[in-house]
A and B are shown apart, each in its own frame.
Chain A
């Protein structure tokens, strides 16, 4: 694969096909060539059967032998059957083989595109949209695969057939041969041209239809005003005109489309016309025999089919060629990074020592705008280097270049004499750690994301490997030019860090979490995580112990008691789902979901027996109505479906139809399937959370009654499936927290989460359960691009990831920005302390922080404005611009708006503060606001500081 990535992509699809599949193409061609005579035989034999075995004047001999007619019939039929079977079987093989070839080529092409994408300079991702890239790799390559399968065989076979027949005709008579192909040039010229026009018109039609759609929706939205202004006549006229447009386009399409058809037919028939006229003339003249003419006419019939195929192929090939070129050009930007970036020697190690040297470094973006200009800088390593400057000063670009992520336009960056540009990622990406602002978090668990920095290559083969299947996958990968690295293998490079034992690894992960102040967050996720089955008896015992302690504390403190609704056999729990209330437990199994409850006939029976079904069905209908209304405009992938909806996005159309069809009073008239779909909905209802006001006291009482009935009659086979709430046992499907409190935290009680959280935290500390719960939390899913984690947690996760990786040099963009103001300094200190003795380069927002760095580089408009120790540099840049800028004043004004409308600090005081701020801040003017972010940050910071210290923002007048 190494050399694979080194190659650039073929510039045309033919070159691509030739390079990677010429052998396979020959095989396809060969097999197809064998098929031809077989096909011929299957056409020929029926004729022979009729003529020789059945016909009036039949002569029952075949291949030189004489038979009696019946035997000949059997023989010929047998041969026919054999020919059909063999040719069918061969066709099957050819098709499958061609399919495999095209799929391999497609896989190779997609993989190559993906690999090229990984070599894009980061700027390229700004030039091309994500959607475009996805579309190109996935969808636009699709037709190319189909083409590959017939790239050689179609022109080869159809062309061959055509040619043979033509030769036959020419041999009979050259003049008639000329006649047969007389119109071909015209056809080749004319038909594609017309076809292109038809395609153009088709596009036009689509546009027009879209315009119609706009008009219609405008009418829908503006209905009120159309009526109020008596605009219906005008709107109708406009609509009529637009429909007319579509009509005329269609009219043109029909004319051209059928002209093509006419021409094709005409040209096909023009041959026979010439044969009969010219040929007839020749026969009458005696130049050729009648037999030959008949043979030519029937031969001509055989060439029209391959000719059509060839024409179609020719047209298709043109499209495919263009498409391929379009896609490939997109993936070969001029500044594509060298293939050796991805595949260079991984065994090399970059020593972060002697010095970091930036010489004559300039960087331009894709528009030629200068981001960095002529920067020279040298520091001895290891060191701490702070880069400061306002936003847009180039400090982020500088550190990205230091991390080897930006390619310098001119100049270079060297570490210990090694040019970063020359080093493969296998070396750079391990020696250098990078924490950016807005780091990307990958879908999966928190743990996966934490160890992402260690997953450079497989360190141990996958366990329990199915040799057969694995070998097959591997050889297929090779045949398609894909990498042979096994994604299922163990990729965790802990050994490299000297962490060989599970306990050491665990401890290190915990330490990284602690340093990034992420432990508490993960702990909370752990509390929300499911207990699952895989708990040691000891852990179970300790959670139950925690449960007992909670009960004790609750009994001591009635105020706390109010915040938890515990599970009680005889009471409806308003903070649990209706399903949990009915079962007084949960269903065992990994995918327990209230949705599945109606799949159990026994559940339905219980509902029917207790008379709950009708009521729940009408509750279900009301829920469906509300959901259909609430989620009408949300796109199907919106997170709200997961968080809030009773109905999955895919099912929404079904329920929409159901809601409009169902009549509230007569739900029993619905089909059974519909009834069950309605019954499903209330099961997820949590009264205090959803506030739909659908659960009456009466209904709740009935559910509790049904609960007892459910348990009493529970059939043998279901006993193991239901996990009842039991004070002395854990519930697998519930979260750790719910298991500890044996109930639910009451929703809608101020501070309930915090206070109960505190209670649990105390007890967990007492029992030393915290690491165990953090480990459950590490398995929490973070959602697509980490969407389930708040921004601050994503940032901390990236910090922990960088710490765990233990790079020799850490490069940090404003990594603490999204964190809580109170946590920022601590995280910074933790990082600096952790990297004591190693190199840290940090682009800082807060200038004061630079005090802790040996070197400070001040960036301004892409240039290095000052460089040196903190005091030295500050002396150079501080001065007239020390006063807060206009933005600080705006900030205050904001505060005023805030106070004015809401938090209601005394309006007068706030106005006073704001006006004062405006006075002292005005000279800078708001025009600078864009560039002076750092000034703002500082101002905001000091504002915050004053607030914390309780000092009023402005001295009393």
Chain B
């Protein structure tokens, strides 16, 4: 059953890893499958996103606009998630993701995710843990980077 497979995929995503499978199944059920053809954009830099996508099949290019034009900075493949920040808060997409060949993706909408969080606070707590851990990690990086700079300046 493809629903079951979606649940497995969701469990592989760090943000969702600790959420009960039963709740993930509900999230999977309220999400949808989307097919992208070669060259179609999964998300566009600067646009407000309302969904995250998990690639079920195929690969996609992550590109940003620089003065030299579009530059591919990474490739995402099966079981990777793109744009998950969009389901947590309103920020514009920071990069464009374009299908490289045919891509099947699971689209998790902001609404669907919020419903889940509203209904099951323990889900929110798990997500919060994950985010806080990330924030901590980022802060560490920042401190190191700032310290490095200060050192190089003096």
Contact = CB atoms under 8 A, between A and B. Distances in A.
Interface of A: 626, 629-635, 638-640, 643-644, 688-693, 747-751, 820-821, 893-906, 909-912, 914-915, 918-919, 944, 947-948, 950
Contacts of B139: 893
Given A904-B62, A905-B64, A630 B33 contact: no
Given A904-B74, A906-B73, A911-B142, A899 B40 contact: no
Given A693-B2, A904-B95, A948-B46, A751 B40 contact: yes
Given A897-B85, A906-B73, A630 B94 contact: no
Given A899-B95, A903-B82, A918-B142, A630 B25 contact: yes
21 contacts: A640-B115, A688-B33, A690-B29, A691-B3, A693-B1, A748-B32, A750-B36, A893-B142, A894-B89, A895-B91, A901-B84, A902-B84, A903-B62, A904-B73, A904-B74, A911-B141, A911-B142, A911-B145, A912-B145, A944-B92, A950-B65
B142 A903 contact: no
Interface in B51-105: 52, 62, 64-65, 73-74, 76, 81-85, 89, 91-95, 97, 99
Which of A626, A633, A904, A910 has the largest count of B CB atoms less than 10 A from its CB?
A904
Contacts of B37: 750
Given A638-B119, A895-B91, A915 B142 contact: yes
Contacts, number: 136
Given A748-B32, A897-B85, 20 more contacts: A630-B22, A630-B26, A633-B22, A634-B119, A638-B119, A644-B29, A692-B3, A693-B1, A693-B3, A748-B33, A750-B42, A750-B99, A821-B48, A896-B142, A898-B91, A902-B81, A903-B62, A903-B83, A903-B97, A911-B145
**What size tier do the contact residues of chain B reach?**
35 or more
B3 A750 contact: no
A246 to B, nearest CB: 30
A948 B34 CA distance: 28
A905 B33 contact: no
Interface of B: 1-3, 6, 14, 22, 25-26, 29-30, 32-37, 40, 42-43, 46, 48, 52, 62, 64-65, 73-74, 76, 81-85, 89, 91-95, 97, 99, 115, 119-120, 131, 134-135, 138-139, 141-142, 145-146, 149
Contacts of B14: 901
Contacts of B84: 901-902
A656 to B, nearest CB: 15
Given A899-B94, A911-B141, A905 B73 contact: yes
A626 B3 contact: yes
A630 B25 CA distance: 7
A906 B64 contact: yes
Contacts of A912: 145
Given A896-B138, A904-B62, A906-B64, A691 B119 contact: no
B40 A903 contact: no
B119 A689 contact: no
Contact of A629 (B22, B65, B97): B22
Given A632-B22, A751-B40, A899-B95, A689 B62 contact: no
B72 to A, nearest CB: 10
A905 B95 contact: yes
A413 B145 CA distance: 55
A948 to B, nearest CB: 7
Contacts of B36: 750
Contacts of B52: 902
Nearest to B149: A915
A902 B2 CA distance: 24
B83 A902 contact: yes
Contacts of A630: 22, 25-26, 29
Contacts of A691: 2-3, 6, 29, 33
B33 A910 contact: no
A942 to B, nearest CB: 14
A634 B26 CA distance: 10
Contacts of A643: 30
A902 B52 CA distance: 9
B153 to A, nearest CB: 11
B5 to A, nearest CB: 9
Contacts of A635: 119
B2 A903 contact: no
A796 B138 CA distance: 38
Which of A691, A893, A899, A919 has the largest count of B CB atoms less than 10 A from its CB?
A691
Contacts of B43: 903
Contacts of A901: 14, 81, 84-85, 134
B51 to A, nearest CB: 11
Contact of B91 (A689, A750, A894, A915): A894
Contacts of A639: 115
A918 B65 contact: no
A897 B62 contact: no
Nearest to B90: A821
Which of A632, A821, A896, A944 has the largest count of B CB atoms less than 10 A from its CB?
A896
Contacts of B93: 903
Nearest to B40: A750
B64 A692 contact: no
A644 B81 CA distance: 24
A629 B25 contact: yes
Contacts of A748: 32-35
Nearest to B1: A693
A748 B42 CA distance: 13
Nearest to A821: B48
A750 B35 contact: yes
A893 B30 CA distance: 31
Contacts of A631: 26
A112 B62 CA distance: 64
B85 A898 contact: yes
A894 B33 CA distance: 28
Nearest to A632: B22
Contacts of A821: 48
A338 B36 CA distance: 63
Contacts of A749: 34-35
A744 to B, nearest CB: 14
Contacts of B25: 629-630
A644 B27 CA distance: 11
Nearest to A751: B40
B30 A644 contact: yes
Contacts of A915: 142, 145-146, 149
Nearest to B110: A790
Contacts of A751: 40
B23 to A, nearest CB: 8
Contacts of B149: 915
Given A638-B119, A750-B40, A897 B135 contact: yes
Contacts of A906: 64, 73
A897 B35 CA distance: 27
Contact of A897 (B65, B95, B138): B138
B62 to A, nearest CB: 4
B48 A820 contact: yes
Contact of B134 (A634, A897, A910): A897
A380 B70 CA distance: 55
Nearest to B48: A820
A563 to B, nearest CB: 11
A903 B138 contact: no
A592 to B, nearest CB: 25
B65 A903 contact: no
A818 B42 CA distance: 25
Nearest to A822: B48
A300 to B, nearest CB: 65
Nearest to A690: B29
A821 B91 CA distance: 11
Given A644-B29, A644-B30, A751-B40, A900 B46 contact: no
Nearest to B15: A901
A821 B43 CA distance: 18
Nearest to A890: B135
Contacts of B89: 894
A905 B94 contact: yes
